[in-house]
Structure 1
Amino acid sequence: MAAPLVVPGAGPGGRAPTVAVLAGGLSHERDVSLRSGRRVAEALRGTGAEVTVHDVDADLVPALRQLRPDVVWPLLHGATGEDGSVRDVVRMLGLHLLGSGPRASRLAWSKPVAKTVMARAGVATPEHMALPQALFRELGARPVLDLVVEHLGLPLVVKPSRGGSALGVTLVASRDELAGAMVECFSYCGTALVERAVVGTEVAVSVLDTGTGPVALPAVEIVTDGPYDYDARYNPGRTEYFVPARLDATAQAAVAELAIAVHTTLGLRHLSRTDLVVDDDGVPWFLEVNVAPGMTETSLLPQAVEAAGHDLGAVYRALVDAAASGA
């Protein structure tokens, strides 16, 4: 891991690289994005990089046209940051993008699509279905939900088909809880992903590629008193993390292999974070992948970087230099 992350002494043309960090936006995850942007900008400045931070508004395109930064790093959570649209704009401006391109981002952004692609590639993923809100208006909620329980059983996980930070996610233990979970989910997205809950150890595996191929960081095990929801993710104290995860060597290798398979199969670049559950038999189950992982003080990728013995600023700079070189 160490060799690919060596930080060169200077950026393109023998000078410090210029980096435009995109943070904010109008999604439900705006605050998390702003916190991620501030922390990444601070770490990069510590390596000598020249960093500006930009919100996603009417001033963004003119600012990027004027600055012509060496690299644009979207740290946007939610639709525009992860659905490929802002990344399309960066590409149209002829600028180097850090992270996955527009097409791969669109694949990863849609959880049902990503799960279908990975299932076809032979990766285990919980049985699931995608149910748009319009379906319930046409067929009625009760008969559809009864069928869901008959087909998938209980417990279930209900989550928005697009989105992150566990917003709108509910673990459903009984049939009576399902309707409320669907209402909560539809407040964030018009389509719900309903999947069979897998009991086991919840882990996240981050993957980095600084130009020499994808490398999996140590798995982070997540233990919460209650659901791993938005509050548990971003407010210290509610969640306990174990890095590396308390898995045996075989399971550690399996989750690393799965995360790299997701990263490569979906055509992701530079960084990603795969969320999964390892069941009692040691089998890892793919849940979803994030092309713009959180970078806050409680986020999982920074924890994994530090557990691997690397300096955050050095890693971020290595990613910037890889993006600036077109890798």
Structure 2
Amino acid sequence: MHVILIAGGWSDEREVSLSGAKKIHEALEELGHTVTFFDPAEDFKNLLTIARTAEFAFINLHGTPGEDGLIQAILDKAGCPYQGAGAAASYLALNKAASKEIFEDRNLNTPNWQLVTPTQGRQAQLKLDLPVFVKPNKGGSSLGMSLVKEAKDFPAALDKVFAMCQSALVEEFIPGVELTCGILGEEPLPLVMITPRDDSEFFDYENKYAADGAEEICPAPVDDSVTKSIQAQMRTAHEALGLTGYSRGDFIMTPDGEFYLLEVNTLPGMTPTSLLPRAAAAIGLSFTDLIARLMELGMAGKDQ
């Protein structure tokens, strides 16, 4: 099969995308596919033409474009199948404020939040109790995120976000253990527990991608009832956002056992240290097996 591997892009997560693409490229060739690498940042105007020559597109983009649904919309116009969510669902999931509205509508626990736009500016009123996280409303890998403990630091945290994104999500800080849950097909994967390095306040970029980053344990050492509850919430979130194929959700579990859904990723990281491949390995899927399964799901979705 002729596969175009779409990676790179122009978001702040470009290097993460390219890193994951190397291993995906190897897996696609191991599966016997002919692979054409395509970077939208280098040749965007030819995407529609190239997509029409391919039998499948494997997307490994983070942020915009890719997770915002733009690439998926173009591939749909070309009639080229791909793995994961479609354009509309991708956009909803990437926009943290929009997805939180949907979570709340489905009675899913999510930390209290407010959206701050440049119209409100750095003098926006903080409506939540401190401490809070301030993060780009669209983006990932914890880039641009700050943990604000004092009100005087709030404007600077907003400035940091506005330098890279048009709006800021301000989110109540929930102390606890971070757990992630992936969905493959329509079935939840084993949970992964994340413990940041001792010198880190939260699961930041270095914890996610450095070789000596956070400790990640899969399956997570939690009670079976905890696993089942989080998997059920993740399945509900996946369905509520209209996602297909796969996704991964980030949760916080408080010391008293309450769960909060933070966000859902439609194109989970595929680097050697990424969480979804680790969870897939826990059920016996090698990285190459995972790529094959994602392609199978993508092709099945095209036929529906």
TM-score by length of 2: 0.93
Output the amino acid matched with 2:181: V
The 1-side partners of 2:161 and 2:219 are apart by: 32
The alignment partner of 1:91 has SS state of: helix
Residue deviations 1:190-225 (CA, integer Å, cap 9, x gap): 21100111111111111111xxxx111111111112
Matches within 5 A, 1:20-59: 20-56=4-40, 57=43, 58-59=45-46
Q: Equivalent of 1:285, from 260, 272, 285?
A: 260
Output the amino acid matched with 1:207: I
- Is the 8 Å Cα contact of residues 82 and 295 (structure 2) preserved in structure 1? no
Displacement of 1:270 in angstroms is 0.6
Displacement of 1:125 in angstroms is 0.5
Displacement of 1:61 in angstroms is 2.7
Pair 1:186 & 2:162 matched? yes
The 2-side partners of 1:75 and 1:202 are apart by: 24
Structure 2 gap ranges (5+): none
The 2-side partners of 1:43 and 1:158 are apart by: 37
Aligned to 1:157: 133
Aligned to 2:218: 243
Pair 1:127 & 2:96 matched? no
Q: Equivalent of 1:229, from 200, 204, 216?
A: 204
The 2-side partners of 1:251 and 1:206 are apart by: 15
Aligned to 2:192: 220
Aligned to 2:47: 60
The 2-side partners of 1:310 and 1:292 are apart by: 18
- Is the 8 Å Cα contact of residues 9 and 64 (structure 2) preserved in structure 1? no
Aligned to 1:259: 234
The alignment partner of 1:195 has SS state of: strand
The alignment partner of 2:120 has SS state of: helix
Matched residues, number: 296
Residue deviations 1:66-118 (CA, integer Å, cap 9, x gap): x2x22112111111111111111000011112110001111111100001101
Aligned to 2:150: 174
Q: Equivalent of 1:74, from 28, 43, 59?
A: 59
Percent pairwise identity:
33
The alignment partner of 2:269 has SS state of: coil
- Is the 8 Å Cα contact of residues 277 and 290 (structure 2) preserved in structure 1? no
Output the amino acid matched with 1:55: D
Q: Equivalent of 1:203, from 174, 179, 194?
A: 179
Could you list the structure 1 runs, at least 4 aligned residues long, displaced by more than 4 angstroms after superposition.
Answer: none
Displacement of 1:159 in angstroms is 0.6
The 1-side partners of 2:35 and 2:256 are apart by: 46
The 1-side partners of 2:164 and 2:183 are apart by: 28
Residue deviations 1:264-287 (CA, integer Å, cap 9, x gap): 111101111111111122222111
The alignment partner of 1:87 has SS state of: helix
Pair 1:274 & 2:246 matched? no
The 2-side partners of 1:91 and 1:270 are apart by: 16
Structure 1 gap ranges (5+): 1-16
The 2-side partners of 1:314 and 1:18 are apart by: 18
The 2-side partners of 1:184 and 1:307 are apart by: 38
The 1-side partners of 2:147 and 2:5 are apart by: 35
Output the amino acid matched with 1:215: E
The 2-side partners of 1:108 and 1:215 are apart by: 19
Pair 1:313 & 2:297 matched? no
Residue deviations 1:23-58 (CA, integer Å, cap 9, x gap): 011111111111112211212222223322211123
Cα RMSD, aligned residues only: 1.5
Residue deviations 1:228-257 (CA, integer Å, cap 9, x gap): 211221111021111112221111111111
The alignment partner of 1:60 has SS state of: helix
Aligned to 1:117: 102
The alignment partner of 2:107 has SS state of: coil
Residue deviations 1:272-317 (CA, integer Å, cap 9, x gap): 1111111122222111111111100111111111122211211211
- Is the 8 Å Cα contact of residues 23 and 54 (structure 1) preserved in structure 2? yes
- Is the 8 Å Cα contact of residues 8 and 15 (structure 2) preserved in structure 1? yes
- Is the 8 Å Cα contact of residues 222 and 239 (structure 1) preserved in structure 2? yes
